Amino acid sequence: MQWQTELPLIAILRGITPEEAADHVGAIIAAGFDAVEIPLNSPDWQQSIPEMVKLYGDKALIGAGTVLQPEQVDQLADMGCKLIVTPNINTRVIQRAVEYGMTVCPGCATATEAFAALEAGAQALKVFPSSAFGPDYIKALKAVLPAEVPVFAVGGVTPENLAQWLNAGCIGAGLGSDLYRAGQPLSRTQEKAHAFVNAYREAVK
């Protein structure tokens, strides 16, 4: 299994509105990101996601997070969405997304959940919430997973600690409130996006 983007960092823009989305997603892509997730508990995501697919679908893997139901996957497929991220393991959601040819990165915490996700067809895994488990836990989990499975740390990842998650065996990370908080100015999004890209490049030199 190979992660589909060059930079294995997923921008999680929870709470972003359709009015803000184009500028913030544009800034994040300009900084070097090529995977963006708009969670479905964001305002008017039905407007934001198809617009971002239209504007930036040729430059980045545009997707949805907090996807909980197979019916949502159907909606997202119609919008041209290419990435599905979940907070939990729902094998029906994973299977439906795989049927559409989407990249699926479901949230798991245990080996049991991780293997259930892989059996359902998930191409990547996110360990969530990573900060509650720590790098040593991920290292232990990675020891029993197939070596080629891309694992992302999500929850509590900052530019300052990104390297420790990579050292634990993660390919990259999903970045939420340390990258974007609802309503923050565009300048802050730009600053944080560059900080994460620089931290990643420094860590893998």
3-state secondary structure of 40: coil
DSSP string, 93-156: HHHHHHHTT-EEEEEE-SHHHHHHHHHHT-S-EEETTHHHH-HHHHHHHHHHS-TTS-EEEESS
> Residue 28 and residue 190: Cα distance in Å, rounded?
6
Is residue 201 exposed (0-12), middle (13-18) or buried (19+ Cβ within 10 Å)? exposed
DSSP state of 74: H
37 is catalytic: yes
The catalytic position among 6, 19, 20, 37 is: 37
Asked if 4 and 61 count as a contact pair (C-beta separation under 8 A), the reply is yes
The catalytic position among 51, 54, 99, 126 is: 126
Which of 69, 45, 57, 25 is CA-nearest to residue 190? Answer: 25
Give the residue numbers marked as catalytic. 37, 126
